[in-house]
Amino acid sequence: MAPISVPGWQIKSKKSVQRLWNNLSIDGGRNIMKLGFIGFGEVGYEISSGLVEQGLKEIYAYDIMQNHPEKGHIVKDKAEKAGVTLLDSGNDVVKKCDMILMVVPGAFALDTTKGLLDSVTPGKLLVDLSTSLPSVKRAENELISEKGGNFIDGALMASLSQAHYKVPILVSGANCQPFIDALVPYGMNIKQITEKPGDAIAVKFVRSIYMKGIAALGAEMLEAANVLGVDKLVIDSIGNTLDGKSFAFNNNYLVVASAWHGARQAHEMSDVMKMLEDIGVAPIMTQATEKRLEWFRDLDAHTYFNEKRPENWQDVAVLWDKVREEGK
């Protein structure tokens, strides 16, 4: 199978990928890579389905719910549909496979890793795609490294329902290239950002401040607009302000404006909050916005910049850093 070209990635030659597969293989060098999943929910199903469709033959999985009397059939049906073989335990998956993708809830990631340690042998590769904390990923890395294994921190950066197995994945760790070389030829979209475990999930978490925050903010705005019967007018007005400009431009302009006009904007949001209470809309995001604008006000950008408005958010960030240092 010829490697698939993915824009922005440097794909190694078919020969080098074959050499990798030879190194990964644990069954006599027959160029068979065995991929495993610990946890087989949406992530495991979408990724494995795409890889099987692209020709990867041996994929194994274990999910703690697979033998549940009421819900076990869901896992088994998905595995059968995807062409994945379920094994009896997570340790069986680790023993059987060359690469293991861990896709469990973030709160259980560290304990899951600890439970797999007895089966980790030198050269074994474990990729944690869970949304566990950066500190947890670093702890996992230490545990796996002590056993001679290779740990990679991974983060899914888009919706699986839209991108499916080609979902952009950021990875960080000391030795990510075998993972990239093995799966990018099948069409996966994987990029290493640093050699430090924890960095990939940190990028996702920081991005989520905006992506999840804007959804919550949008919901509060739409609820209020709908109650007042002005939804189309408000949506059109916001569109006229933001449409046609880049995210970088809009974000820079709005952040600098709030740093400069924090006092006035905070007062306005106080009135907005009262209006929302009057019409029965919970001002959850509005209250948070007021607090952030008061924080901007207290930075006193006018004094710091000698009444000369800064042009870039990076200039304002100097004040943020100053406040954090003074707070230590």
DSSP string, 86-142: E-S-HHHHHHH-SEEEE-S-GGGHHHHHHHHGGG--TT-EEEE-S---HHHHHHHHH
Tens digit of each residue's pLDDT (9 = 90 or more) over 56-99 = 999 999 999 999 999 999 999 999 999 999 999 999 999 999 99
More confident residue, 144 or 26: 144
Percent of the chain, pLDDT > 90? 86
Residues 79/52, Cβ–Cβ less than 8 Å? no
Q: Coil, helix or strand for 59?
A: strand
Residue 328: band (very low, low, confident or very high) from pLDDT cuts 50, 70, 90: low
Mean pLDDT computed over 215-234: 98
End-to-end Cα, the chain, rounded Å: 56
Q: Round to whole Å and give the CA distance between 268 and 106.
A: 39
Cα–Cα distance for residue pair 44/63, rounded to 1 Å: 10
pLDDT value at residue 325: 86
Q: What is the mean pLDDT of residues 137-143?
A: 98
Task: Kindly tell me if the per-residue pLDDT of 17 is higher than 80.
Answer: no
* CA–CA separation, 197 and 138 (whole Å): 5
What mean pLDDT comes out for the span 260-272?
98
**Of 21-30, 44-53, 126-135, where does mean pLDDT reach its minimum?**
21-30
Per-residue pLDDT tens over the stretch 27-54: 333 346 899 999 999 999 999 999 999 9
Average pLDDT over the chain, rounded to an integer: 91
Specify the CATH number for 14-203; select among 1.10.20.60, 3.90.550.10, 3.30.70.580, 3.40.50.720.
3.40.50.720
Query: Distances from the Cα of 13 to the Cαs of 50, 149, 151, in angstroms?
Result: 22, 26, 24
**Alpha-carbon distances of 50 from 145, 187, 245, rounded to whole Å:** 30, 8, 35
Parse the chain into domains and list their residue ranges: 14-203, 244-327
Residue 264: C-alpha distances to residues 220, 253, 257, 269 (Å): 21, 16, 11, 9
Strand order in the sheet with 85-86: 85-86, 58-62, 34-38, 99-102, 125-128, 150-156, 168-172, 189-194
Count other C-beta atoms under 10 Å from residue 326's C-beta.
7
Residues constituting the chain: 328
In tens, the pLDDT along 280-320 reads: 999 999 999 999 999 999 999 999 999 999 999 999 999 99
Query: What is the pLDDT, as a whole number, of residue 24?
Result: 52
Place of tokens 């919706």: 159
The predicted model gives 19-31 an average pLDDT of 42
Pairwise pLDDT comparison (163 vs 211), residue with the higher score: 211
Q: How far apart are CA 89 and CA 112, in angstroms?
A: 11
pLDDT at residue 170, rounded to an integer: 98
70-79: pLDDT as tens digits: 999 999 999 9
pLDDT > 90? residue 185: yes
Q: Is pLDDT above 70 for 245?
A: yes
Predicted pLDDT at 324:
87
